[in-house]
Chains A and B, each alone.
Chain A
Amino acid sequence: QSALTQPASVSGSPGRSITISCTGTSSDIGGYNFVSWYQHHPGKAPKLITYDVTKRPSGVSNRFSGSKSGNTASLTISGLQAEDEADYYCCSYETGRTWVFGGGTKLTVL
């Protein structure tokens, strides 16, 4: 069980779009459509922003969207806003009936 691979940091200007990748294996991301993404502002509880690859919980902005191709999942944030600046984590169900997180990506809004 190894952590999923995410870029350590990404940045973008307000109003633009960014995409964060999350790479795993056929035993996790590639084998199941059970990827979720979490937004984590330091000092606060993590927040679910997408689940089952593409679904959004009620109340989450449609600026957040998830996708997957093969062993790589992605989170796209469009129309960047200052409050989007946070750490983002992917998570996938994996064979063995457990779950695994990505290493996290720090988003900076320039």
Chain B
Amino acid sequence: EVQLVQSGAEVKKPGESLKISCKGSGYTFTNYWIGWVRQMPGKGLEWMAIIYPGDSDTRYSPSFQGQVTISADKSISTAYLQWSSLKASDTAMYYCARKPDGSNWFDPWGQGTLVTVSS
């Protein structure tokens, strides 16, 4: 079974750094893209960024460029989303999702990681 399993909920203070993860299983990790999507409280989905673990090719939404960094460790089939200095406005649910190379759809999705940033 193809699965994406995300790391657990995080509670952080403004200014702190954070790295959340998304581990793929049941498929060849390096042959599919992993995208990240934000859902702020009470709001809709926002496409953030995507990485191809096979060669670390990355693309960012202009809205998130410079705000977050995505990476992947193909040796452990895991993708990451990280912040160097969190803000209260980063409080959200973050989802990862798989995208086949050459396609334009996302399936399956991880269960989500809730990030809460509060002083």
B53 CB–A CB distance under 8 Å = no
A89-B45 contact given A1-B62, A51-B104, A52-B104, CB 8 Å threshold:
yes
B37 CB–A CB distance under 8 Å = yes
Pair B47/A45 contact, Cβ less than 8 Å: no
Pair A52/B105 contact, Cβ less than 8 Å: yes
Q: In the complex, A91→B47 CA distance in Å?
A: 9
Cβ-defined partner of A98 (8 Å) among B45, B59, B105, B110 = B59
With a cutoff of 8 Å between Cβ atoms, the chain A residues found around residue B90 in the complex are: none
* Contact code string B63-106 (vs A, CB < 8 Å = 1, else 0): 10000000000000000000000000000000101000001111
With a cutoff of 8 Å between Cβ atoms, the chain A residues found around residue B45 in the complex are: 38, 40, 46, 89, 91, 101, 104
Pair B95/A102 contact, Cβ less than 8 Å: no
A32-B104 contact given A45-B109, A89-B44, A101-B46, CB 8 Å threshold:
yes
CB distance from B60 to the nearest CB of A (A): 8
B112 CB–A CB distance under 8 Å = yes
Query: Which interface class (under 10, 10 to 19, 20 to 34, 35 or more) fits A?
Result: 20 to 34
Pair B104/A93 contact, Cβ less than 8 Å: yes
With a cutoff of 8 Å between Cβ atoms, the chain B residues found around residue A3 in the complex are: 44, 46
Name, among B46, B50, B59, B105, the residue most crowded by chain A CB atoms within 10 Å (CB to CB): B105
CB distance from A107 to the nearest CB of B (A): 14
A99-B109 contact given A1-B63, A45-B95, CB 8 Å threshold:
no
A window 24-72: CB within 8 A of B: 32, 34, 36, 38, 40, 44-48, 51-52, 57
Q: Which residues of A are in contact with B by a Cβ distance under 8 Å?
A: 1, 3, 32, 34, 36, 38, 40, 44-48, 51-52, 57, 87, 89, 91-93, 97-104
14 contacts between A and B (CB under 8 A): A1-B61, A3-B46, A32-B104, A34-B104, A38-B45, A46-B37, A46-B45, A47-B108, A47-B109, A48-B108, A51-B107, A91-B106, A101-B45, A103-B44
